[in-house]
């Protein structure tokens, strides 16, 4: 086994490649989550979290296991959210896509969809959208990161340990893109 793969992500600050977070439009968030009742504290609970989809490909095994040098790794991250049947519940999906290339060939490709169901109660309407698309994926990320590290290690490579993701920055970029698109219409 060679050295740990070097993670390069396109787009953000330190050479990191993140796809823009796919934000659930505000119109999908229920109006029932308006202002909290006086005396009631806002709360966020994780009702469940689960792996929805996992794919790992090692197309050039066993030759890919003994690489000379470090592969270039590109990571794409997307966040989706949708309301559930109960107005205060939301399913939040964290999609991670990692591709390692060495000398123009794909060394490994991993794609994962990790999700959770969150119950948000007594949250002001203006705070609901950012909480769903920033705080919820932030809570899911460590679990998804571990699954991806385990998958790459089981594929014969050093574990791919993703750096923390700035979901607030992703959210702000996505909202800016949506405002720009709406202004052009």
Reported confidence tier of residue 92, pLDDT bands at 50, 70, 90? very high
CA proximity to 115, closest of 131, 135, 136, 84: 136
Lookup result for tokens 């939301």:
90
Residue 65 has pLDDT above 80, yes or no: no
The contacts of residue 142 (CB under 8 Å, 6+ apart) are: none
What pTM value is reported for the model?
Answer: 0.76
Residue 35 placed within a domain = no
Domain with residue 154: its CATH number is: 3.10.420.10
pLDDT digits (tens, 9 = 90+) for 122-181: 999 899 999 999 999 999 999 999 999 999 999 999 999 999 999 999 999 999 998 888
CA proximity to 70, closest of 1, 140, 165, 135: 1
Residue 24 has pLDDT above 80, yes or no: no
Residue 154 placed within a domain = yes
* Segments in the chain forming alpha helices (H): 125-130, 136-154, 167-184
CA distance 129 to 116: 16
Residue 141 placed within a domain = yes
Residue 185 placed within a domain = no
Which burial class, exposed, middle or buried, applies to 156 when counting CB atoms under 10 A from its CB (0-12, 13-18, 19+)?
middle
Q: Containing domain of residue 74, as a range?
A: 6-30+41-170
The SS3 assignment for 8 reads coil
Q: What is the pLDDT of residue 117?
A: 97
- Number of domains within the chain: 1
Q: Measured in whole angstroms, how far is the alpha carbon of residue 170 from the centre of its chain?
A: 10
Residue 45 placed within a domain = yes
Residue 184 placed within a domain = no
Strand ranges in the chain using DSSP code E only, listed in sequence order = 6-7, 11-12, 16-17, 43-57, 72-83, 89-102, 105-121
Residue 123 placed within a domain = yes
Residue 177 placed within a domain = no
């Amino acid at each position: 086994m060679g050295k740990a793969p070097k993670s390069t992500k396109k787009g953000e600050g330190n050479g990191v490649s993140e796809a823009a977070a796919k934000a659930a439009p505000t119109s999908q968030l229920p109006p029932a989550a308006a202002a909290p009742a006086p005396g009631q504290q806002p709360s966020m609970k994780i009702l469940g979290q689960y792996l929805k989809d996992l794919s790992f490909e090692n197309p050039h095994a066993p030759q890919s296991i003994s690489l000379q040098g470090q592969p270039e790794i590109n990571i794409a991250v997307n966040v989706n959210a949708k309301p559930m049947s109960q107005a205060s519940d939301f399913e939040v999906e964290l999609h991670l896509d990692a591709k390692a290339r060495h000398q123009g060939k794909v060394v490994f490709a991993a794609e994962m969809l990790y999700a959770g169901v969150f119950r948000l109660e007594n949250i002001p309407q203006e705070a609901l959208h950012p909480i769903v698309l920033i705080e919820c994926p932030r809570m899911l990320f460590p679990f998804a990161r571990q699954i991806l590290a385990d998958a790459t290690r089981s594929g014969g490579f050093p574990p791919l340990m993703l750096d923390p993701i700035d979901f607030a920055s992703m959210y702000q970029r996505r909202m800016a893109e949506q405002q720009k698109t709406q202004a052009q219409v």
